Structure 1
C-alpha cells in the first residue's frame, strides 16, 4: 500500500491556498485556489456554476384525500448559479421540463401532464429567476416568515438586515420569480448551503438544498374533486424540495 498524507499551504490571511495529496509516487494538487470563509461558512469562489445533472433532485409533495402525502419529482431540469465576489450578490436562474414529471404512477403522471395541471404541450418549462439573496443563519422564525411571503396577501419587501457572523451551517432566503404556465409570482426559497470543495476529478463543486411551499391555485393549477366527507381529492399546498451539487464552469 502507498503511504498517503495531506499537505496544506496557507496565505498571509490564513486562507487555504493549496491542498495536496502526497504519496510515495508523487504529489497531486487538489485545491490551488483560496477557500473563502463568509459568516463562518466555507463558500465557493466567484464564478458561474451549473447544476450537476447526475447529482440533483427536484421534488414535490402534495396531500391526497386529505390523509396522506404523494411525492413526485421532475427528472429533467437545470440551473445556472452565479456566485459573486460579494456572496450576497449571487444569483440563480433555473428551468424544469414539465414533461419529465413523475410520481411513479403512469396514470397519475399522464393526468399531471394534461391541461388539467401542467399542460406540457403548451407550457414545456417551469422557470425561476432570483431577485435577491439574504443570509439567514439558523433563525427558524425567519424561515417561517419566508414561507408566509409566498402567500401574495402577506408578501412584503425584501429584508436587508444581516445578523452577526456564525459558525452554523450556511442558510439563506433566496427571493425570486416563479413562472408556471402563464402565471408569474414571487416565491422565496429557504436554502441550506452544504459546503464547497474540489472533487477527485478536479472540479470545484458545492452542495445545497432548498425548500418552499406554494399554493398551486395561485399558478392556475386549479383542478380538483370535492370529497363527500369534506375536503378535496388533491391538496392545494405543494411543498417543493430541491437538492443538488453545482459545478464550476467559468471562474469569476
Structure 2
C-alpha cells in the first residue's frame, strides 16, 4: 500500500532533498512526501486505484512529472526518477577552463588567542582546469593546476601581513609561490568531489585533498561560459615547517596551528580569460 520509488541524479547519487507530490486526474493533491537519505521514497498513505500524476522537484534540478498507476492493492511503483540539473549539464563541459581571479577568492582562517578567528586572503593567483570525460563518464581524469603569489596575503592589518610574509611564516623572499597540482579526482556525492593533489608551501610538498562542490555552469555577460566551484580543506602549519608558536597565556597559542582554507572559484571556458 502507498508509493515506492527512488530519486537519483544522472550519475546515480541520491537526491536527499527531493519532494514528491501526487495528484489525481482532477489535479487535487493526494500525497506529498520527501525522499529519505538514500533517495528512496516511501509512503503508506492509502490511495484509491487508478491513474495519478507524480511530480518530483528538488532545488537546483529540473522538475519531472510522470503518470503512475495505483493497483487494486493501493500501491504505486514509480521506479527510479532521474533528475537533471536545472539549466544545464550535470558537470562542466570537457576542455580547458581558466581561473578568473577577479571573480574568485582564496582565503584562509586561523584561530587567534583560542577564542576568535583571523581571516586572510591571497589577492594574486591563477590556474587552469582541464575537464576530462563526457556523458559516459571519465571525469576522474580531470586535472587542476594553480599558483598563488605568497606575498599577496592580506588580513586587513599591515603589521600582521608583514609578519606573515617573514621567515616565521610564509618566508616569501625564499618561497614566492604556493602551488597546487592535482593527481586524481574521486566522486563523493551529488555534485561533490574529492580532489587529490600535491601542495607546495614554504618549500615543503605535501599530499592535500580538496573537498569540492560544483555549483553550476552558465553564460556570462561577455559571451563566455563560466563554471563555479567551492572547495575547502584544512592544513597544519607544522606540516609545512611553519612552527612559530608564541604562547600568550595558560598555554594558549597566539595563532592556531590549523588553517581552514576556503576557495570560491569561477572558471571561464578556454585557455585564456576574455577582456572585461
In structure 2, C-alpha distance between the alignment counterparts of 1:75 and 1:198, rounded to whole Å: 25
TM-score by length of 1: 0.70
Deviations 1:181-213 (A, max 9, x none): 210000101000010122232211100010000
Q: Which secondary structure state, in structure 2, belongs to the residue aligned with residue 209 of structure 1?
A: strand
**Residue 68 in structure 1 maps to residue 116 in structure 2:** yes
How far apart, in 2, do the equivalents of 1:40 and 1:108 lie? 47
Deviation at 1:243, TM superposition (A): 0.3
Q: Shift in Å at residue 53 of structure 1?
A: 1.9
1:181 aligned residue: 202
Correspondence for 1:238: 259
Report whether the alignment pairs 1:89 with 2:106: no
- For 1:161-176, list aligned pairs within 5 A: 168=190, 170-176=191-197
Deviations 1:192-240 (A, max 9, x none): 0010122232211100010000111100111111233122111000000
Pair 1:119 & 2:140 matched: no
Point out which structure has higher relative CO (alpha carbons under 8 A, 6+ apart). Answer: 1
The alpha carbon displacement at 1:39 in A equals 9.2
Q: Distance in 2 between matches of 1:194 and 1:71?
A: 23
The question of 1:130 aligning with 2:178 is answered: no
Aligned length: 183
Q: How much does 1:250 deviate?
A: 4.6
| Structure 2 runs not aligned, ≥5 long | 1-81
Contact 1:47–1:250 under 8 Å retained in 2: no
Deviation at 1:44, TM superposition (A): 1.6
Q: Which residue number in structure 2 is paired with residue 142 of structure 1? A: none
Q: CA RMSD in A?
A: 1.7
Question: How far apart, in 1, do the equivalents of 2:168 and 2:217 lie?
Answer: 41
Query: Radius of gyration: which is bigger?
Result: 2
Q: Structure 1 residue runs of 4+, over 3 Å off?
A: 38-41
